[in-house]
Amino acid sequence: MKFSIAIAASLFALAACQPATTPTPEAAPPAGGAASGTPAPEQQATADNCALTVERAWGPIGPSDHPSYRVKVWTTGSVCESSVVTLAIFARDGFPIYTWAGATQYLFALRDAKTPAEMATAMEEWIGPDNQPPELTGTLPPWEETDDQPKAAEFPFMPNMEKAQYDDLRKANQHMLCFPQGIESSLCLTLWPGEDGAPAMIEEIGLWRFPG
């Protein structure tokens, strides 16, 4: 019995001599986010600092003297010089009837914009301001003045159709939208109104080349 009491006393004395230890706390999640590393909401909101939107009316005048269509352009990206621009045409009911996207660094008028302010100005130039006269297919050059023709104009047009279709397009004098789709040319679209309740249709009609 004395032997057992002596061992217990020795163990108690040894434990009393050991330094106290502090429990290790669990790793705390990053401030403002979950433990998975998801950015905080405020970080997500400010990450895309070249997100800009420009829009204007386009096309024939509809009921109540308002244009039936709108062209909307927006950029996406944290750096303006390497952002992506998207162009969409919306009908009056808000339904998109055409979309196009490209990298701004490869597009005339947008490639030199380095700040959000510069990009906003460039985007307005890219699709044309509200106050300019409407572009119409009747202003396209005659067939003999299109690209690769004997009398090619200074700004040659490259139609993607045969001569008979091209001549009909010019006679129809439909609304047209041209915007730079690269460094050397603009892509041109035309609007064909729907018949018998059918929705309107946007058609890509060709490229308008820049001089030089």
114 and 146 belong to one structural domain: no
Q: How far apart are CA 92 and CA 198, in angstroms?
A: 14
Task: Based on the fold, state whether residues 71 and 109 are members of the same structural domain.
Answer: yes
Nearest to 107 by CA among 53, 206, 184: 184
Can you give the pLDDT at residue 22?
40
State whether 50 and 123 are in the same domain.
Answer: yes
Residues 108, 81 within the same domain: yes
pLDDT at position 5? 40
Q: Give me the pLDDT at residue 177, please.
A: 95
Q: Among 49, 186, 53, 47, which Cα is nearest to 120's?
A: 53
**Cβ contacts of residue 176 below 8 Å, gap of 6+?**
134, 135, 136, 137, 139, 140, 188, 189, 190, 191, 205
Q: What is the full per-residue pLDDT of the chain (212 aa) written as tens digits? A: 433 444 444 443 444 444 444 444 444 444 444 444 444 433 333 345 899 999 998 988 766 556 678 999 999 999 999 999 999 999 888 889 999 999 999 999 999 999 999 999 999 999 987 777 889 999 999 998 888 887 877 788 999 999 999 999 999 999 999 999 999 999 999 998 777 666 678 999 999 998 76
| Residue 108 located in a structural domain | yes
In degrees, rounded to 5, the angle at the alpha carbon of residue 40 between the alpha carbons of residues 34 and 41 is 125
Number of folded domains that form the chain: 2
pTM of the model: 0.72
Pairing of strands 157-159, 84-91: unpaired
- Tokens at 95, concatenated: 């339904």
Task: Indicate whether 15 belongs to any domain.
Answer: no
37: left (phi over 0), alpha (psi -120 to 50) or beta: left
Tokens matching residue 108: 């005339």
Q: Which domain holds residue 59?
A: 42-131
In this structure, the answer to whether residues 110 and 150 fall within a common structural domain is no
**Residue in 137, 134, 130 with CA at minimum distance from that of residue 157:** 137
φ/ψ of 162, rounded to 5, equals: -80, 165
**119 plus 194 within the same structural domain:** no
Token duo for residue 147: 């690209």
In this prediction, residue 153 carries a pLDDT of 76
Listed residues 98, 131, 164: the one ending a domain: 131
Tokens representing 131 are: 């106050």
Dihedral (C-alpha) 138, 141, 143, 144: value to the nearest 10 degrees? 150
Of the residues 85, 112, 131, which one is the last residue of a structural domain? 131
Q: Are residues 47 and 126 in the same domain?
A: yes
Residue 137 and residue 125 share a domain: no
Residue 70 shares a structural domain with residue 141: no
Q: Which of 147, 93, 83, 70 lies closest to 120, judged by CA?
A: 83
